[in-house]
Structure 1
Amino acid sequence: MRIDLMKSMDRNYFLDMMYISKGGAISKRRIKVLQVGEVSFRAYCYLRKSNRTFKIDNILALVPVTSRERIVV
């Protein structure tokens, strides 16, 4: 997962992420990765409309957003 996060940051594209919180709640978020560390990463979360910190181990799935999906209203 860490390599995928680094690639999306380098290539400047968005990701759809399935994430499980430490409380066990699962959410789907569209993110733009800003910084990647060893165990966590910072990203802009379009669900919460703010910069957030996420644990890499809590990611369930990552899917790149294609340009076609971005222009669909």
Structure 2
Amino acid sequence: MKEQLLKAMKRNQLVEMMYISKAGEITKRRIKVLKVSNDTFESYCFLKQSKRTFIIQNVLALIPIIRKERDVI
């Protein structure tokens, strides 16, 4: 999972994340990875509209968001 986070950070790519909190709550969040450490990572969370720190081990899934350019006629 750490490798996927690093890849998303290097590519400046938004990702959708399935995350389980310490309380056991599962949430789906759209994030932009800002910094990756040993056990945690810092991201901008669009759900909470703020910077958040997440535990890498609690990430259930990461899905890259692919933006398509619209054709201009």
> Normalising by the residue count of structure 2, what TM-score does the alignment of the two structures yield?
0.92
Q: Structure 1, residues 13-71: CA drift from partner, whole Å, max 9, x if none?
A: 00000000000000000000000001000000000000000000000000000113xx8
Matching residue of 1:43: 43
In angstroms, what is the RMSD of aligned CA positions? 1.4
1:16 aligns with 2:16: yes
Q: How many residues align?
A: 70
List alignment gaps of at least 5 residues for structure 1. none
How many angstroms apart in 2 are the aligned matches of 1:5 and 1:60? 12
Seq. identity, %: 52
Runs of 4+ in 1 over 2 A off after TM superposition: none
How many angstroms apart in 2 are the aligned matches of 1:53 and 1:24? 16
In the TM superposition, what is the alpha-carbon distance from 1:11 to its structure 2 partner? 0.5
List alignment gaps of at least 5 residues for structure 2. none
> Normalising by the residue count of structure 1, what TM-score does the alignment of the two structures yield?
0.92
Matching residue of 1:63: 63
- Report the secondary structure of 2:19's partner residue: strand
How many angstroms apart in 1 are the aligned matches of 2:29 and 2:58? 13
1:33 aligns with 2:10: no
